[in-house]
Amino acid sequence: MPTKKIAPAIDAKLWKELVATAKRNGQSQRYVLEQALAHYLHNVVPSQHLVRPQVMDAFEQSVEANRDLLERLAK
């Protein structure tokens, strides 16, 4: 499969989480990033068209406001 070299500047906390996840799962950072992009493009983007933008905005604000709690619950 052809590849494309990119050099985006991303949130340092997200990058640290990606690196830790890749290491914990024995995967490459590239693999984890590609999987995250594929999931976003194939699942998240299409679903955004099913829900009113105002509802998605409220959901995203709620997730951000409760991020610590959600992460603790996920463990």
For residue 53, name the pLDDT band (cuts at 50, 70, 90). confident
Residue 6 domain flag: no
- The domain total for the chain is 1
Residue 56 domain boundaries? 12-74
Is 4 part of any domain?
no
- Is the pLDDT at 22 greater than 90? The verdict is yes
- CA–CA dist 23, 32 (Å, integer): 10
Statement: residue 49 has pLDDT above 80: no
Whether pTM exceeds 0.85: no
65 assigned to some structural domain: yes
Check residue 62 and give its pLDDT. 93
Establish if 69 belongs to a structural domain.
Answer: yes
Q: Is residue 59 part of a domain?
A: yes
Helix (H, G, I), strand (E, B) or coil at 31: helix
Is residue 13 within 8 Å of residue 19, measured between CB atoms?
A: no
Residue with tokens 């955004």: 48
